[in-house]
Structure 1
């Protein structure tokens, strides 16, 4: 039982490393694609598809099974005796590891994109503040000077008596809304 758990955990880590290494370079899949497909049907250079990357569940299951069958055949050819009882836990663990690896790679990619967009937005805001700060003193000085001049003019003109204002009732009577 403990050996089964150890093999399961090791195969999960193996699946994560398989997915991660295939996201970096899918050279083996690309080489097999060149051998099996005509020139028109071959993968485009920007295509990231691989044995585990951008595949559905059934192709991933087939590729993991083929990988372990080849490994077991190789181990059976060796002169010492091995047990193949842990095949299922190794396959299941590797599939879980592949899906965990795809989740980690996607989260890492989106978090990097999110971080980059936040940093770019922050830089734009800081640049806007800097440019407004350089332009603002001229406008502020003009506005401050003009308001100061207007305030002085008001103080000089307020010495003259103003006409008394009508009350709200009188204005409504003028409009004909009150009797």
Structure 2
């Protein structure tokens, strides 16, 4: 009997991960119940990701999992063998553990995507800065070359010798 308990526990962990993952992708069932039970002013916003398990505190999650397993137990009561309390408890605990494992994985994935996006944006900014500064530097080098070429090709302004310049300053 202990192996059946372990099988139920592990399968309920996988079930909890699957439930959280499906609800994180699309929480249409929670939205539908929210529309039925709440007035239009109190309904959740279309951008909200909140669901039965996503973005909930511990107690509401535990309540929703218990309701789900009570429904499952009621279905199993129709079978010739009755469900035992150990299976119910291991199912609820395993599902809660699975939900929190999935919550951890989804949060880490979202945060890592944000970090990667920030790094990519920063690196693009750095590359753009390098390109613009490189073009400015190339333009300044080309301006220096053109100014030296222009001064050397201008025959209109004769250059004074060093002696004449010193005389102009009054040093000779």
Q: TM-score, normalised by structure 1?
A: 0.75
User: Structure 1 unaligned runs (5+)?
Assistant: 147-155, 161-179
Per the alignment, residue 81 of structure 1 pairs with 81
Q: CA separation in 2, counterparts of 1:122 and 1:18?
A: 38
Aligned residues: 150
CA drift at 1:131: 1.8
> 2:116 aligns to what?
115
Give the whole-Å Cα distance in 1 for the aligned partners of 2:142 and 2:73: 83
Cα deviation, 1:57-90, whole Å, max 9, x if unaligned, reads 1111110000011011112224x42533311011
Residue 77 of structure 2 aligns to a residue whose secondary structure is: helix
Deviation at 1:48, TM superposition (A): 1.3
Q: Mean alpha-carbon deviation: is it higher for 90-99 or for 5-14?
A: 5-14
Q: Which runs of 4+ in 1 moved over 3 A?
A: 140-146
Name which of structure 1's ranges 3-12 and 106-115 shifts more when overlaid on structure 2.
3-12
1:1-179 counterparts in 2 under 5 A? 1-78=2-79, 80-84=80-84, 85-141=86-142
Whole-Å Cα distance in 1 between the matches of residues 128 and 82 of structure 2? 66
Q: Point out the more displaced range, 91-100 or 1-10.
A: 1-10
1:97-144 CA deviation, whole Å, 9 max, x = no partner? 111111111110000010111111111111211222122122245568
Q: How far apart are the structure 1 equivalents of 2:48 and 2:38?
A: 15
Q: What's the RMSD between the two structures over aligned residues?
A: 2.4
Distance 2:106 2:77 in 1: 35
- Does the 8 Å contact 2:76/2:82 carry over to 1? yes
In structure 1, C-alpha distance between the alignment counterparts of 2:7 and 2:29, rounded to whole Å? 29
